[in-house]
Copies of this chain bind each other. A is one copy, B any other.
Amino acid sequence: MANMASAKSAGMKSAGMKSTRTKSASPSVCCGSVADVPLDEASADALATAFAALADPARLRLLSLISSAEGGEVCGCDLVEPIGRSQPTVSHHLKILFEAGLVAKEKRGVWVWYRVVPGRFRELRAALA
């Protein structure tokens, strides 16, 4: 019976003392990598939320449009047409990207200008180490 398996699952439990204090990650993820052992539920939730923001074609294309814009920023008014969705839908997606910390926005007059947040992408890349 090949079961170091059962044996293993029985004995391994003490390693649970993570430094849960990892910067407290206020709104979004911040730390915690897939390589962590074990990834605690809280970190997993935060990471999952972040990746969920990337799990939509429309949002990926928005990110692509924003990051490739000259000057590194784009007026929201220029994002609706290329995406091919309604204005409320684009607004919705931009909100999700913003709340995930993937983009920053700044209101200038009537317009809102968006730009990507490189540090956030670095974090997520690090989580895929």
Instruction: State the A residues within 8 Å of B (CB).
Output: 2, 5-6, 8-9, 34-39, 41, 44-45, 47-49, 51-52, 54-61, 63-65, 67-68, 75, 77-78, 81-82, 108-109, 111, 121, 124-125, 128-129
Contact = CB atoms under 8 A, between A and B. Distances in A.
Contacts of A2: 108-109, 111
Contacts of A75: 5
A5 B38 contact: no
A67 B128 contact: no
A109 to B, nearest CB: 7
A46 to B, nearest CB: 9
Nearest to A35: B67
A26 B128 CA distance: 22
A54 B57 contact: no
B111 A5 contact: yes
A108 B5 CA distance: 13
